[in-house]
Structure 1
Amino acid sequence: MTRRPSSARPGRDLLRVYLNDHLTAATSGVELLRRAAGARRGTALGPPLAALAQEAAQDRESLRRVMAALDVPEKRGRAALGRIAERMGRLKLNGRLFTRSPLSDVLELEAMRLAVEGNACMWRSLRAVAAADGRIDGVRLHELLRRAERQLRILETLRGERAAEVFAPGAARTTAARP
């Protein structure tokens, strides 16, 4: 049964759904980053992915604090769906049946980038809420948005480098060797 927003508080009800949707996505993103960092331990991708995984977990906690400040209850079942969604994402077609494909890195980096872009959009949206509701720290939202933008730059660099290695391995070395 779908619950309709009450006419007295449609914005509040929609914000509750919105924040819980983002919490579900954040849970999935943290799981993906942690798994990718573990799979790439000992490679050039390992350390930046591990650092991003730690930041993503901190960002998820920041979202939980915002939700608590706004008295938005956390739908724990939905967070479990985020974990399940990340595990289902592992079943993607990548040209290999039982082993990781080099394509897996590219696809996962793209998914991570999309997740961080979603976070950035959420922090931007919450700035509008903060302007009307003193329970949210607008300065902290600004910091979180700046961090998301930095994370996007890191992920885009990693994604671009890995795509060049996977799709045009000779071109990446040739380009780097040019004066």
Structure 2
Amino acid sequence: MNKKRLRIYLEDHLALMVGEIELIVRCHESNQSTNLGRFLERLVEDVRAQQSIADGVLYSVHADKSLAGRMKQGAAWFAEKLGRFKLNDALLEYSDLSRVIELETLVATAQERVNLWASLEEILTKDLSLGTLAATDLKDQSENHLAELKQHHLNAVTLAFLRPVVS
């Protein structure tokens, strides 16, 4: 097993999860009392748990995160914060368009988690040095997240683009 490449790969995915968690929290703040908000409450806990598991895999491959890995996580955190300044149709308040963009980003990050766990599942079939890992279950969980995020995205698209604008 090429542990150096696996370390880099895991650090990249851990950085994505940092940004994903920050975005889930932000999106939840503006959608708390909705079905989307309730889903996001569960999602953030699941992603944090997956992040912890991925961090454990990283630890089993390489004792410490590299400086580059820590920098990637910091950059992902900063990028999410910077993304809050994107101009939408409502400058000072949450916009239906903001929700669409946030959900599209969360769909992409959920797909990345599906890919992560599918990759680790494949590695585990050929190399047992990582020990036991429920990669299949984590992949399935991420696929369920992805499906639900896609449905919430379609609902957000309807609200943003098909609902009459009240002036």
Q: How does 1:1-179 map to 2 (within 5 A)?
A: 11-71=2-62, 73-74=64-65, 75-137=69-131, 140-169=134-163
Identity of aligned residues (%): 25
Deviates more, 1:63-72 or 1:49-58: 63-72
Q: Is the 8 A contact 2:7 2:62 kept in 1?
A: no
Residues 3-32 of structure 1, C-alpha deviations (whole Å, 9 max, x = no match): xxxxxx8x3322221111111111000111
Unmatched 5+ stretches in structure 2: none
CA distance 1:15–1:48, shift in 2 (3 Å): same
- Secondary structure of the residue aligned to 1:135 is helix
Normalising by structure 1, report the TM-score.
Answer: 0.82
Q: Which structure is richer in relative contact order (CA contacts within 8 A, separation 6 or more)?
A: 2
Q: Tell me how many residue pairs correspond in the alignment.
A: 161
Aligned to 1:45, the other structure's residue is in SS state helix
Q: What is the CA-CA distance between 1:93 and the residue it aligns to?
A: 2.6
Task: Decide which moves more: 77-86 or 106-115.
Answer: 77-86
Q: Give the alignment's TM-score, normalised by structure 2.
A: 0.88
- Structure 1 unaligned segments of length 5 or more: list them: 1-8, 171-179
The Cα of 1:138 is off from its aligned counterpart by 5.8
CA shift in 2, pair 1:144/1:137, >3 Å: farther
Report if the CA contact (8 A) 2:103-2:149 is conserved: yes
Q: Which moved more, 1:67-76 or 1:147-156?
A: 67-76
Give the distance between the partners of 1:67 and 1:118, measured in 2 at CA: 17
CA contact (8 A) 1:16 1:73 kept: no
* Greater C-alpha Rg: 1
Deviation at 1:79, TM superposition (A): 1.6
Per mean C-alpha deviation after superposition, the further-off stretch among 43-52 and 143-152 is: 43-52
